Chain A
Amino acid sequence: MSATAVSLPRRAFAPTPTEHAPRPVRAVPDAVGRRARPKLAYAVVAVGGVLAMVVAQLLLSVGLSHGAYEMSALQQQQTTLGWQQQSVSDDLMNVSSPQFIAANAQALGMVINGTPAYLRLSDGAIVGVPAAATTETEIPVGPSTLVGNSLLDGVPLVTVPGATVDPAAAGVADADATAAPVSLENGIPAPQTR
């Protein structure tokens, strides 16, 4: 194809052959060769670029998916910690129940004072008829386990180390109470904690 291209102009400008004689003739392949080298560089750059992009994409997705696993693990941890928090606050609520407080108070030998009396701050007057709390009331208050709470079964008391809230060991609540005379008037001797 290149041979034809070179010969055609010659024919066209035939009337002035003298002009042509001193001109040096270059080999066509030279020019072709010079143009081919940059093309290879472009190719290398292009292919390299594509490769780089693929690698970057790979690394990025690896990074991303690694992040996803990390997030998943952290979310799982968050859930677990949430459960743990709930579990602990449930325990707290259980020991805040009146039964547990009563069990602890009874274990210390505390009794309920039934007599209402108030100290009026404005004039320091005593309103009502104060009286000492005693265990001698018509209804002896039974062990705290009379009002059941299965959530407290076996929970250790805070006031008496080693003792637990246990219906079977209800006597524990009476351990430190003063030896009040057991009244048989009410039929059965229930723990006189009041």
Chain B
Amino acid sequence: MPRLKGRRVVKHSLSTRRRVTVAILCVVVIVGAFVVRLIDIQVVRADQLVAASLEKTSGAGTLYAPRGNIVDTNGTLLAGSVTRFDVTISPVDVDDVDRIDDDGNKVTIPAADALAEVAAVTGQKAEDVQKIVADALEKDASANFAFLTRGVGYDTYQALMELKKSGTWWIYTQQTSGRTYPNGAVAGGVLGFVGSDNAGLGGLELAQDSCLTGQNGTQAFQRSKDNVALPGTTTITKEPEPGGELKLTLDADLNWYMQQLVASQVTAQQAAWGTIVVTEAKTGKIRAIAEAPSLDPNDVSATAAEERRSRVFQNRFEPGSVFKPLTAASLIDAGLATPASQVIADYRYKPKNGASIKDALPHERQQLTLAGVLQTSSNTGTSQLGEKLSAEKRYNYLDAFGFGHASGLKFPGEQKGVLHPWQEWDNQTYYTTMFGQGVDVTGIELAGAYQALANLGEKLPLQLIEGCSYPDGTVTGAPEKAKPERIVSEKAALETLGMMETVVTEGFWSESLEIPGYRVAAKSGTGEQIIDGILQDTFYSSMAGAVPADDPEYVVTVTLKDPLYKRSSAAAAPVFKEAVLQVIKKYGIPPSTTPGANYPGTY
């Protein structure tokens, strides 16, 4: 047998070898081709192909991180995030809609009518919707995307889904996030508003944007051809981080009442605007910032652009006589006066430096004490007593009370009062700054100054924000506990508050101001305004004070611009009284058990 084999091998060796060679070559070429392809796929284009395959087999979604809520001091929601829907349309697909009606008959709705149906649901005009479609098609004949309307609520979404089910398939919705303010215009100017992208554009929404804004997350999943996630394949690639919850010191209920109150008076007096600020004397926490008119953040477009503001922070005015208690406190603190200091007050006072001071109304010569000067709001009396204190020292007092320094709350667009340095005061200004003319303040600066007076001479930084708390429990943005700054002595503050109490009991507006059983300290102000060099015949009417007068808990400041029927502080006085009454009821302040201050006004 071996022999036989050997013979065959020899016989076929040539063709076999050739065949084997060819076969090996073939194998090498084929394997080589595969290897090349393999390397190409697995190494060279690996990333690209993996990405392409993932794109075909996997989906990604955004996990929306809601913008944080804004709540009041009791946790009442002032601003919250809600799910909204953008409605889009595929203009190129807009066509007649076939529908089965109630009787089972097939009916065809013309495209125009179908669009009108959609418009009725979204609350648009039919022609507007048609215009959107026509415009999109004009731009691009094969346009398959156009926004119909944005940010509609769930009810509209549901109605659209019904329409879609009944054949209007070319409308679509996208989930988005919106902002709601359940209490409307309550503290609206302070809260501010957001834009269509949900980013803060004004007020605290802007100032605290970094607290409120969350970080959207992403999720990935494998999907089937029709975009259904395969079970168990969804993974969160990035956790969404919701925004923080911003807690304010404001009280929504109190704020509402103050707004209703000041709005009522603004309407009744045809005033340009009015504000009330309620501040806790011992902590500096602001409990209410009421403004009328006020922005309703739910409907920003209803308020003109220049009116979308907080007037307490963003308007300056010459306050008038509400400055007198501050001058009086400075004088007492400097040891230059007591509530019994005597002065002879005429209607006019012409000091040696050439200035000319007169009172609001002509009157006979009066023999007043410092308390009487406040009661009758005598400019000439204030000037004569005030000139005992040098301009520099008086400037330092006013500066320390916080005028010209803004509130320190960093409110967006906040104004600073204008208190010119004492070296720049002219002879007239030297006197007028004693009674609140020739100096500009903001409502919040005035509230801050009265906080210092009411806190028995110690000024605290005003506080509007309790803090920004995150779901994991961390709290940021809470103001550091500041050391109170002493402006005037406790004695000076208490005596000044006592004199202001006699303003309520003995002053012009005592009928509008007195609250039986309670000791209230207050001072009126009628600020003149000069526009383009012309003294106006309307005024800033204000009232500032504290309750209870012997140990103040709350500071209330009221300002009305241009009341028409009562042009003086008489417009602000009843507002102040009602505001104080509400504060008393709200915080359960018991009636005073001590007798009121007794500083005679005349001698």
A141 sits at the interface (CB 8 A): yes
Contact of A186 among B230, B268, B518 (CB under 8 A): B268
Known: A86-B83, A129-B517. A118 touches B588 (CB 8 A): yes
Nearest-Cβ distance from residue B182 to partner chain A, whole angstroms: 4
Residues in chain A near residue B265, CB distance under 8 A:
139
B428 sits at the interface (CB 8 A): no
Nearest-Cβ distance from residue A105 to partner chain B, whole angstroms: 12
Residue among A67, A90, A140 with the highest chain B CB neighbour number at 10 A: A90
Contact of A187 among B252, B263, B268, B299 (CB under 8 A): B268
Residues in chain A near residue B184, CB distance under 8 A:
97, 99, 147-152
Residues in chain A near residue B13, CB distance under 8 A:
none
Contact of A96 among B154, B182, B260 (CB under 8 A): B182
Please choose the segment from A30-38, A68-76, A156-164 that sits at the chain B interface, where 4 or more of its residues have CB less than 8 A away: A68-76
- How far is B153's CA from A83's CA once the two chains are assembled, in angstroms? 9
Nearest-Cβ distance from residue B105 to partner chain A, whole angstroms: 30
A57 sits at the interface (CB 8 A): no
A188 sits at the interface (CB 8 A): yes
Residues in chain A near residue B298, CB distance under 8 A:
149-151
**Interface contact B260-A146, CB-CB below 8 Å:** yes
Known: A83-B83, A149-B298. A98 touches B183 (CB 8 A): yes
Nearest-Cβ distance from residue B468 to partner chain A, whole angstroms: 22
Contact of B267 among A102, A142, A148 (CB under 8 A): A142
A5 sits at the interface (CB 8 A): no
B296 sits at the interface (CB 8 A): yes
B340 sits at the interface (CB 8 A): no
Contact of A127 among B183, B263, B591 (CB under 8 A): B591
- Hey, what's the 0/1 contact readout for A1-15 against B, CB within 8 Å counting as 1? 000000000000000
Interface size on A, residues (CB 8 A): 45
Residues in chain B near residue A72, CB distance under 8 A:
228-229
- How far is B591's CA from A14's CA once the two chains are assembled, in angstroms? 141
**Interface contact B186-A142, CB-CB below 8 Å:** no
Residue ID in chain A nearest B303 by CB atoms? A148
**Interface contact B260-A64, CB-CB below 8 Å:** no
- How far is B571's CA from A185's CA once the two chains are assembled, in angstroms? 12
Known: A146-B263, A190-B267. A67 touches B185 (CB 8 A): no
Known: A140-B268, A142-B264, A187-B268. A148 touches B185 (CB 8 A): yes
Residues in chain A near residue B565, CB distance under 8 A:
185-187
- How far is B582's CA from A140's CA once the two chains are assembled, in angstroms? 15
Residues in chain A near residue B577, CB distance under 8 A:
138
**Interface contact B294-A86, CB-CB below 8 Å:** no
**Interface contact B517-A86, CB-CB below 8 Å:** no
Contact of A86 among B77, B154, B183, B582 (CB under 8 A): B154
**Interface contact B264-A128, CB-CB below 8 Å:** no
Residues in chain A near residue B589, CB distance under 8 A:
116
- How far is B512's CA from A145's CA once the two chains are assembled, in angstroms? 26
**Interface contact A128-B269, CB-CB below 8 Å:** no
A84 sits at the interface (CB 8 A): yes
**A-contacting residues, B472-498, CB 8 Å:** none
Residues in chain A near residue B83, CB distance under 8 A:
83, 86
Residue ID in chain A nearest B290 by CB atoms? A147
B88 sits at the interface (CB 8 A): no
- How far is B584's CA from A180's CA once the two chains are assembled, in angstroms? 27
Residue ID in chain B nearest A149 by CB atoms? B184
Residue numbers of B with Cβ under 8 A of A are 77, 80, 82-83, 153-155, 157, 180-186, 188, 224, 228-231, 252-253, 256-257, 259-261, 263-265, 267-270, 292, 294, 296, 298-299, 302, 512, 515-518, 564-566, 574-575, 577-578, 581-582, 584-585, 588-591
Query: Can you list the 8 inter-chain pairs with the closest CB atoms, starting with the nearest?
Result: A149-B184, A138-B574, A87-B154, A187-B565, A98-B256, A150-B299, A146-B263, A93-B182
Please list 6 pairs of residues, one from A and one from B, whose beta carbons are closer than 8 Å in the complex, sorted by A's number: A64-B231, A83-B157, A90-B180, A99-B186, A148-B296, A150-B302
Residue numbers of A with Cβ under 8 A of B are 64-65, 67-69, 71-72, 83-84, 86-87, 90, 93-94, 96-99, 102, 114-116, 118, 127-129, 137-142, 144, 146-152, 185-188, 190
